[in-house]
Amino acid sequence: MAVLRGVATNEPAPEEPLTGVFVYRVEEDAWWWSDDMYRLLGYVPDEVVPTSERLREHQDPDDRDRVTGALDAVRADGKPFGCYHRLKDVAGEDHAVVLVADGRTDERGGVVTVRGFIVDVTQSVVTHARDLAESDVTRARASQEDIDLARGMLMAQYGVDAAVAMRLLRRLSQQTNRKLRDLARELLAAAPTPTAEARQDLSRRVGSVLYPEASTE
């Protein structure tokens, strides 16, 4: 039984989206997956050895080259990225996911590890599309992709889970009278590091989108 604003209901409480965490050690070409990472792909934890090829096998064929390119880029420069794509688990079930990752460098500037997580956003995509007419499904999916990528960006930036990041987005959308999808797109536009600007300034750029009035004071 769920409780909404102090009122008990018979509706089941919504499940938190499954979030798998991974670490890739570049020199060793070795992966570590959290238990939820295995579960997201349909495995029992530690059932298989995690590898780049195994992860690629689960990706939708139309998305594989794009995801591989993004992972190759972060292995080369360590810059954070977000990537929306589709996975198929071992049971044949399709999942819409957001992958967020960045690299850790050594004293020479070389990337030694890539750390990140994959959030299963299947239910949010289905629910969002279901609320619209069939003619708007494609547009709904594009809008939801932006929202889920922005949520993943906030998760990485502030170290919070998916539910907290989504609540933050919704609250700021209401406070600033901006549509959720517009706020998400502003965040994504702020993510790339401008030429000659330090990567550490990402926090400032994100803050200027979330709190525009404060940034102009």
Residue 137 predicted with pLDDT over 50: no
Pairing of strands 111-120, 94-105: antiparallel
Mean pLDDT of 45-65: 95
Report which of residues 57 and 105 the model is more confident about: 57
**pLDDT tier for residue 133 given thresholds of 50, 70 and 90:** very low
What is the rounded CA–CA span in Å between residue 12 and residue 14?
A: 6
What mean pLDDT, rounded, does the chain reach?
77
**Is a pLDDT exceeding 50 seen at residue 127?**
yes
Listed ranges 1-5, 20-24, 122-126, 210-214; the one with the highest mean pLDDT: 20-24
Residue 30: burial class (beta carbons within 10 Å; 0-12, 13-18, 19+): middle
| pLDDT computed for residue 9 by the predictor | 44
pTM confidence score: 0.61
pLDDT for res 134: 45
Statement: residue 70 has pLDDT above 80: yes
